[in-house]
Each structure stands twice: as C-alpha cells, then as structure tokens.
Amino acid sequence: MVPNGWKIHSISDIAEVKGGKRLPKGYTLQPEPNGHPYIRVTDMFDGGVSLDSIQYVPEEAVNAISRYKISTSDIFITVAGTLGIVGIISEQLDGANLTENADKLTNLKIDQRFLLEMLRSPIVQSHIEAEKTTNAQPKLALTRIKGFKIPVPPIPEQRKIAKILSIWDKAIHTTERLINNSKQQKKALMQQLLTGKKRLLDDSGKPFEGEWEEITLEKLAKYRRGSFPQPYGNPEWVDEVNGYPFIQVYDIDKNMKLKPDTKIKISDAAIGKSVFIPKETVIVSLQGSIGRVAITQYDAYVDRTVLLFQEFIVPMDKVFFAFIIQELFEIEKTKAPGGTIKTITKEVLSNFKVHIPSITEQQKIAFVLINADQEIELLEQQLADLKQEKKALMQQLLTGKRRVAV
C-alpha cells in the first residue's frame, strides 16, 4: 500500500542512467596527478569515494573518454565485480572520469540525498542481491537499474527524510574515524612497547629498567601443530549436534579471540585423531590467513593449519606473548613478496627471535594493550548499534510507515 501523497516510480522516471568507460586500449592509468582523475570501483565505498589511491587518465587518452564523467550532483552505482555500492562524489572529484564498472544516475528529478538513501536501502539492495545469486559473474544491466521501482514522497518530505538520515551518517562516520584513529594509536603503541623503546612505570612509579633478553622461539616455548583425521570431508568425523569445537583458521577472530562457536564440530570418532587444547591456550594460524592469533576462550580441538603453544619454558605472560607473536608475524609479512606469507615451517618458527622483559613488565605491557583493544571493541559496538538504528529508521522512513512533519 502506497502512503498518502507518495507515488511509485521507476528509476527511469526520476533520473537518466548512463554508463562509465574504460581507458582506450594501449593506455594505463597513472598515479601522478594531472587534473584528470579516474574513479575505479576499488576507490568507492558505501556513500562516497576515497581519495587515498586515486589514479589519473594520461593526457593522450583524455579526449577519447571525455563524455564519461561524473559530477557532484550525480549518484554512482557499481554494476560489475562488487555490485550495488552507491554514493556521491566530493568537490575534489567533480568532473572525474567514471569506470565502466559503474553507472551514474544523472539529471535527477528528486532530492539527491533521498535517492541515495533509497538506493542504499533494502528496497533496492534486495533486487541487487538477487542479481548476485542469479549469475556466475554478476553484472547489473543498465536496463535493470532503470526498472527498479521505489516509493517517492513529495520533495519537502524527501528532503526532511534525507536530513534525518544524514544525522545518523555523520555519527557513523565520526565513530568510524575514531576507530581508525584508535587502531593507528594502538599500532604505534605496540611498536614502542613491544620493542622496549617506550618503558612503562613500575609499581614504585619509576620507569622499568634493564635489558630485554633475546631468545629464540624454540627456547621460549613448546609448541606443535594441531591435527585432523584423514581423509578430510569424511562425514564420520563430524557431529554438528553433540560434537566438540574444532578450531580452524576461519574460527580465529579479531582482537585475539575465537569466534563464539566453531564452524565445525567433530565427533567422538575424530577426537582421538586430533589435538585437544584447554581454554586460555595461545594459538596462531599457519596457513591461509597466516598470523591470526588468539587466546582461546573455551576447550577445543585444533586443526593442523593452526599452531598451539603447549607450555612456556621461561616466565611468560600469555597476553604479552600473544601480542609478541602477532607483531612477529606482521614483521614477517612485510618481508614476504607482496606482503603475504605463503607458508611457514616449524624450522623457520624455531629460529624466530623475540625480546622479552621481566614478567612484571610483560604484565604491565599486556594490561595497557588489552585496555587499548577494549576501547576499540567498545567503539566497534557503538558503530554496530548506530548502523542498526539507522537501518531500522530507514525501514520506517523510506516506506512511509513513519511520516515526518514538514
């Protein structure tokens, strides 16, 4: 049922839909600014375009694609690769060339911000999701976009709805910025604290003193890989109802924790062929996404793609050690081709060198870094709450279930 005063329109009724254009054959984008920016899908995010990695059209190719530009009064929508990202460009990119993997909605007959919110809403995104599941290589045809139908209120109501939703967008953007800043600050803090460049205060209020000990991993702890019965995929090894948690790389979450539940649970027949670890064991992934670290929150069995630390040979705070291992793998990634570690052997691990302070200083460092993580988690929860609140509000406002005073 259409709310009183609203009308159902196809996108083609309220905007022109036009495609972008790829560079002519034989030309490549350049990183050097020359006044001819080119917006790719990789530059786009929900709501806008990042300026961080913008590329530019070489002078020789400018005329060939001069008709495929986007302005600040338009809206973009991605139509290949990642479908359905929509947004508005900033003043700095006014007149930029648009990739062939995105279309623009131009010459709008309704409020730009209202239409943007409508395109971001489930009203339109549900149709786009259907396209993703229908085709092996999803592509959003220009004719499909033109045919999307949306409920449209009078212009004054459009503007009021857009203004209300923009308040949530600003709060979301501010919280995202706080999270990014907090993560950068924590990263800098880790680099200082885990190398001893910055020393914390001891219980007497004086900075810790003394040299840190250099030690190889094999002399610091006893460790081994997990295990799983062969062959993989045998249904006999799995029991989703009464089985036991089985940790794979997928199950290692952020902030040094496991996901609340493992993807797979193994059967009584499988546990004798796997490796059990009690909760509060330090683990690290060795395949796939190498270098994910966690201190386990529950008893579980472990796959061979995960390394588990059974016991420490020297006095060691588990949380401090987990941060050390995490940082160690980050350093190794910077040395690897393309910033990716393909695999890592036990022999290589044995020779990893770490520097450790006294157990008291370890505990102080761990406390500071855990607090930093908790602050980030709190902000991330606030962000999730804001997004959920906005989603609920969109459902009310963009369908006319809740009307606004104009």
d(CA 83, CA 68): 20
My answer on whether 192 and 240 are in the same domain is no
Question: Considering the domain boundaries, does residue 3 fall inside one?
Answer: no
Quote the CA–CA distance of 113 and 116 in Å, as a whole number.
5
Q: Does the structure show a pLDDT above 80 at 339?
A: no
Task: Classify residue 401: in a domain, yes or no.
Answer: yes
Q: Tally the domains of the chain.
A: 3
Q: What is the pLDDT of residues 125-141, one digit of tens each?
A: 998 988 776 666 778 99
CATH number of the domain enclosing 181: 1.10.287.1120
pLDDT digits (tens, 9 = 90+) for 269-287: 999 999 999 999 999 998 8
Are the CB atoms for 226 and 275 separated by under 8 Å?
yes
- Cα angle 172-176-177, degrees, rounded to a multiple of 5: 120
208 within a domain of the structure (yes/no): no
Residue 338 has pLDDT above 70, yes or no: no
pLDDT at 290: 86
Question: What confidence tens digit (pLDDT) does each residue in 200-229 have?
Answer: 999 999 999 999 999 999 999 999 999 988
Is residue 206 in a domain?
no
- Summarised one tens digit per residue, pLDDT across range 43-54 is 999 999 999 999
Percent of the chain at pLDDT exceeding 90: 83
User: Which pLDDT belongs to residue 133?
Assistant: 67
pLDDT at 247: 97
Instruction: Name which of 129, 166, 124, 168 is nearest 146 in CA terms.
Output: 124
N-terminal to C-terminal alpha carbon distance within the chain: 22
Q: What is the pLDDT of residues 53-78, one digit of tens each?
A: 999 999 999 999 999 999 999 999 99
Across 318-335, average pLDDT: 88
Cα–chain center distance at 268: 36
- pLDDT tens digit string along 156-200? 999 999 999 999 999 999 999 999 999 999 999 999 999 999 999
State the chain's mean pLDDT as an integer.
93
Q: Is residue 316 part of a domain?
A: yes
Spatial distance between the Cα atoms of 263 and 198, rounded to a whole number of angstroms: 40
Domain shared by 163 and 189, yes or no:
yes
| CA atoms of 73 and 59, how far apart (whole Å) | 25
CATH code for the domain of 261: 3.90.220.20
Q: 276 lies in a domain?
A: yes
Parent domain of 369: 153-198+357-406
Span 74-93, mean pLDDT?
96
The answer to the question of residue 243 being in a domain is: yes
pLDDT per residue as tens digits for the range 349-387: 888 899 999 999 999 999 999 999 999 999 999 999 999
Together in a domain, 169 and 243: no
